[in-house]
A = this chain, B = another copy of it.
């Protein structure tokens, strides 16, 4: 990749790139690399992907995930509106419960895959991945004539992730918090502010997400958790590519896009085929069930030396050299002894055991094997 040989330009911040309440604290920990996610900085590496990963698996980390914006939907038609935009049945979602709900358009394309938080009977937050759900939902609500208030409530989430998360949060919030079930949230206060705290987070190591509403209290909250975390060797962290690929967590915009439907992305288990509420993707997804899928997102294991992804994606070929898919995310996993990756491949190449070739150049085409899951 000639591209990688050039020195990269610095990053220009401006008001268009949202400031986070924790930013000075994060920068104080000298992150090595960042990205932009929902017009907000998101760190990607502190020491190295591997060092960050090993620490995350053993200790506890504090992540600035302000980029997980909330879309608040409030009002008489809030439930009806959310039922319309997700093929998952949410009628049984309780107040205080989180649900993973793919948002799917009238063509069956995935618009986003947020976590839904039910704050009240007709008040919800969508904790979104990287696409502008706010504008989409506002557009739909306007067109449908729904009576809802839709806004970004200015929440800046902080994730506490890793096996010592419970110990740390119990020290700060009391032992009760250890009993919070997965994907449930409660209201708590700390460092002069009160917030929802959920058992959730974008890692395989467990932990919590704190939904800070008062921007000005961000540094105090960070400092309070940071101080109490010293005895658990807390570090600043961020979503880790090794961890998330090992655990099979797809990234919206990387591993699934508006061009894919939820069946292609293996999200079938989150869909309610016969939901009663009106849903804009019902017809399109019904057709997918009838006709079957053409592509599938698979897990790939590529033994050998660590590889680096090019600027966007690697092409995959079959034995005959015919293009049959795209490798969309990759990391090197010591645990699995090779490169682990997600790829979108033609369905006939998606069975576990299928061998494919990564189209790096003509001389060197590493062999990739489709696996059902990354497992020890």
CA distance A24 to B2 in the complex (A): 8
Interface-located stretch among A3-11, A94-102, A194-202? A3-11
Interface-located stretch among A58-66, A131-139, A264-272, A346-354? A131-139
Query: Given known contacts A11-B33, A14-B251, A142-B280, what 11 new A-B pairs fall within 8 Å (CB)?
Result: A2-B24, A3-B23, A11-B35, A12-B45, A15-B254, A17-B35, A35-B36, A39-B253, A138-B139, A139-B142, A142-B143
A322 interface residue, CB < 8 Å from B?
no
Measured between beta carbons, the chain B residues less than 8 angstroms from A294 are none
A231 interface residue, CB < 8 Å from B?
no
B33 engages A7 (CB within 8 Å):
no
A14 engages B329 (CB within 8 Å):
yes
Measured between beta carbons, the chain B residues less than 8 angstroms from A36 are 17, 35-36, 39
A39 engages B130 (CB within 8 Å):
yes
Measured between beta carbons, the chain B residues less than 8 angstroms from A14 are 35, 251, 253-254, 309, 329
Q: Which residues of A contact B (CB under 8 A)?
A: 2-3, 6-19, 23-24, 27-28, 30-37, 39, 43-45, 105-106, 111, 130-133, 135-145, 251-254, 280, 309, 311-313, 328-329
CA distance A247 to B145 in the complex (A): 40
- Nearest-neighbour CB distance to chain B for A309, whole angstroms, equals 8
Measured between beta carbons, the chain B residues less than 8 angstroms from A280 are 142
- Nearest-neighbour CB distance to chain B for A143, whole angstroms, equals 2
What is the count of identical protomers in the complex?
2
CA distance A316 to B35 in the complex (A): 30
CA distance A2 to B23 in the complex (A): 11
Measured between beta carbons, the chain B residues less than 8 angstroms from A24 are 2-3
CA distance A345 to B221 in the complex (A): 32
A109 — nearest CB in chain B belongs to which residue?
A: B138
B132 engages A139 (CB within 8 Å):
no
CA distance A328 to B12 in the complex (A): 14
B135 engages A15 (CB within 8 Å):
no
A142 engages B140 (CB within 8 Å):
yes
A–B Cβ pairs within 8 angstroms, 12 of them:
A3-B23, A9-B31, A11-B35, A12-B35, A15-B312, A16-B253, A17-B36, A105-B142, A106-B142, A135-B135, A136-B136, A140-B143
Given contacts A3-B23, A16-B251, A39-B253, contact A8 B9 (CB under 8 A): no
A145 — nearest CB in chain B belongs to which residue?
A: B143
Among A11, A15, A37, find the residue whose CB has the most chain B CB atoms closer than 10 A.
Answer: A15
- Nearest-neighbour CB distance to chain B for A20, whole angstroms, equals 9
CA distance A16 to B143 in the complex (A): 29
B10 engages A32 (CB within 8 Å):
yes
